[in-house]
Every structure is written in structure tokens, then in C-alpha cells.
Structure 1
């Protein structure tokens, strides 16, 4: 998958139950013109129901580090997203864990004006990174990656909150929960405020059983 993405120079877009449930023409177009991957168990269930029985879950918070691990000795990277504090900690940890990594640039995800966005796009075009990670949440990160792709061809991946996971601000579920596709339940136990989002998963499952996907 990583090699295919490298050849195609497209965006990697995570797909989960919530995104499928609230899909729009715009979001479908973004996925169809790029490379979608099942970041959640709901997306895996939907694929298997369509006959893709070998489908597996690929957590985005692991995939981006696999890409870094494969290419950090030979490619350049650019990071966009999260708060200033988090992006600085992310850069520090990347440099520690991947000695010699070439970070062409980085900035936080709070792009408030058109001028700030244009400055970022200009920097991307000027520095020509091979890989760009954008951690701003959907659909904001996907729309920004689309604009970047139009200016500069590279591997792009939307990361949501993966920088926070990487530096330890957000703890992932223990292995057993992940292995048994219960990471969503673990996160709900740890963050009861996520109940509204998890209701979306139940609605998705109901629609899936009705054959709407």
C-alpha cells in the first residue's frame, strides 16, 4: 500500500463508520480520486459485506509512522496540524526516534486566514516535500490536502489526532481491545463524552444490516 501510494502520489484518506454515515458527494469524490483505507472496524465490516473478505483495519496513527520508518533516510517530510505545543513536541520526538530525518517544514493547524493558507501553500511548493502529514480533523484536512496536491504532487495523509497519540497526550487502547475490534469501546469508557459519536456507530451498524451500504 505504501509503495502504491508513493507511485501514485495521492492522498491517503482514512475511512470509518462516521465518514460513511455522513458521506457527501464532495467526500466521496475526494476518496474516489485518492486512496481510501479502513481506519475503523465499521469500514472493514462494510467492505466485507461487499465481498472484500480480506479487508483489514489500518489505523492511521500507525500507518503514518510506517511511512516515516520506511522513508526517513531518503525522503523529506512536512507536518501541519494540532497546536503549536503539540507540533513542536512531535517534531522533537520524530528527530529523536528517527535520527537524520529531513523535516522540510512544519506548522500548527490553526490556519485562520486566506493569507496564512497561501503562505503555507507557497512553502510547500518551494520546499517540495516528498511526504506531507496533515492533522486537522475531517473534512478540513482532506480539503487542504486537495489544494496542496494541486500545487505540489507528493504523498499526503490526513492524521486527525495522531500527533497527540504519538507524543502520549492521548493513550491508545491496550492490545487486547485493539485486536478484538473494541478500541471504540475502550475510548468510550475512558471518555464518556464520546457517547454521541459512538451512537453514530450504532446507527451505521443498523443501516449496514439494512443493506444501505
Structure 2
């Protein structure tokens, strides 16, 4: 799997979700979602985190950037779908560990997964409120004791990426940062319908639902214009 660099950010260009998942599982990678905002506002620290790991095109902006670099067959892979695809393809053979979110959301997530994927091996899970070094140490010990094949961390960027790298140093596995995916999965946050998603207009749906996001969405337009003028 090859990658392109946009504004110093290395973005991998998978031709399919299956290819991305197979690569991440085989090489025990840390999966990091990349979108226009992360590319546009990249700092030395955020670039380093993404570039050390497997940054995949989570948003349409990242797809635009890859196509501008000459990649023809790249696909957009929303992180809120990718983690479920990983489970769907591997729940009969791999083990899982979940981190993040409020306790009630996490409990519902685990219950839903066990219902939807009978026999899934969720070795353990804990909420995302890790406030002290002792709590982080306890989590690290738990991960190294259970030795899961796949670890999902829903804590928001860059917190989740920093935590995943620390855990990865102690226990090699496939890790994915999920942001608010547990909230989407349990229905606490309503995602755009299939039409919006397939037409790459999910950002517009979210803007209609939350007009206050206009300040963030303007960056997508700015990013597109910069790409057209080869500013990246």
C-alpha cells in the first residue's frame, strides 16, 4: 500500500476497505483518520503522529488531495464504519478491547456488539475517563495481560493517538482511534443517511443539523480551493 504526502502529512491510499484492514491487521498498525481539517491545520506534532502510523482517508478532503496527487482508485473510508468492518471481518478469529466514551455508552456498545456478532471475544473494556498516571498504568497492565488482537480507542484527537502509541509500545496489536463512533453506533448521535454519505455530502448534513459548525466547514472549502491552485 502506497501513500502520498500533502502539507507534510502522509496519507495512505487504499483501493478498498478490505485492503486497508488486511494491511493494518497483518502489520499491527495504528489507524489514524485523516481529513481536510487535519491536513490544513497540521502542526509538527500532529504530522509526526500521523506519519508514524497509518493515516487513512476518512474524509472527502483527503480523497481530493490524493486524487490531486494522481491516485485514481482511492476510496473514502469513514472511521465510524471502518471499526465495524474490522469486527465484521475478524470477530470469529480475533480478540478485541474497547476504550473510551461514557460508561453507559460503552456498556451499550458492548451489549450491541455481542448481540450483532455472536461469539465475539471482547476481552475487556473501560471508559475514556483516564485522568491520572495510575489509571493509565492500570490500563496498560490490563492490555498487556489480556493481549488483544485489536484495540479501539474512542477519546478524540490527539488524545486517542497519543494513548494508542503508548499502549502500542507495550503491546503490539492493531489500534484504531474512533472519536465519537460509540455514540453513533448506539444511536446517541444521528449520522447522515445513505444518500448524503454516498454523495460525499455528510459534511453538509452535519452543518444543517449543527449550524454552529460553519466555522469548521469553511475550512473544507478553503482546502478545496488551495488544492485547485496547487498550494499543497
TM-score (norm 1): 0.96
Indicate the residue corresponding to 2:9 in structure 1: none
Alpha-carbon deviations, 1:166-213, whole Å to 9, x = none?
111111111111111100001110111222221221222232233222
- Of 61, 64, 67, the match for 1:45: 64
Aligned partners of 2:215 and 2:156: how far apart in 1?
Answer: 17
Map residues 27-66 of structure 1 onto 2, 5 A cutoff: 27-66=46-85
- Of 195, 199, 215, the match for 1:176: 195
Q: CA RMSD in A?
A: 1.1
Q: CA deviation at 1:2?
A: 1.1
Aligned partners of 1:113 and 1:198: how far apart in 2?
Answer: 34
Indicate the residue corresponding to 2:122 in structure 1: 103
Alpha-carbon deviations, 1:134-190, whole Å to 9, x = none?
011111111110101100000000011111111111111111111111000011101
Aligned partners of 1:147 and 1:37: how far apart in 2?
Answer: 20
Alpha-carbon deviations, 1:100-143, whole Å to 9, x = none?
11111111111111111111111111110100000111111111
Aligned partners of 2:92 and 2:156: how far apart in 1?
Answer: 28
- Of 115, 129, 135, the match for 2:154: 135
Aligned partners of 1:107 and 1:188: how far apart in 2?
Answer: 32
Aligned partners of 1:144 and 1:208: how far apart in 2?
Answer: 32
The answer on 1:118 being equivalent to 2:146 is no
Q: Which has the higher contact order (CA 8 A, sep 6+)?
A: 1
Aligned partners of 1:193 and 1:115: how far apart in 2?
Answer: 37
Aligned partners of 1:116 and 1:207: how far apart in 2?
Answer: 43
**Which piece of structure 1 moves more, 151-160 or 194-203?**
194-203
SS of the residue 1:160 aligns to? coil
SS of the residue 2:130 aligns to? coil
Indicate the residue corresponding to 2:103 in structure 1: 84
Aligned partners of 1:32 and 1:22: how far apart in 2?
Answer: 15
Could you tell me which runs of 5 or more consecutive residues in structure 2 were left unpaired when the two chains were aligned.
1-19
Indicate the residue corresponding to 2:217 in structure 1: 198
TM-score (norm 2): 0.89
Paired positions, count = 213
Q: Which runs of 4+ in 1 moved over 6 A?
A: none
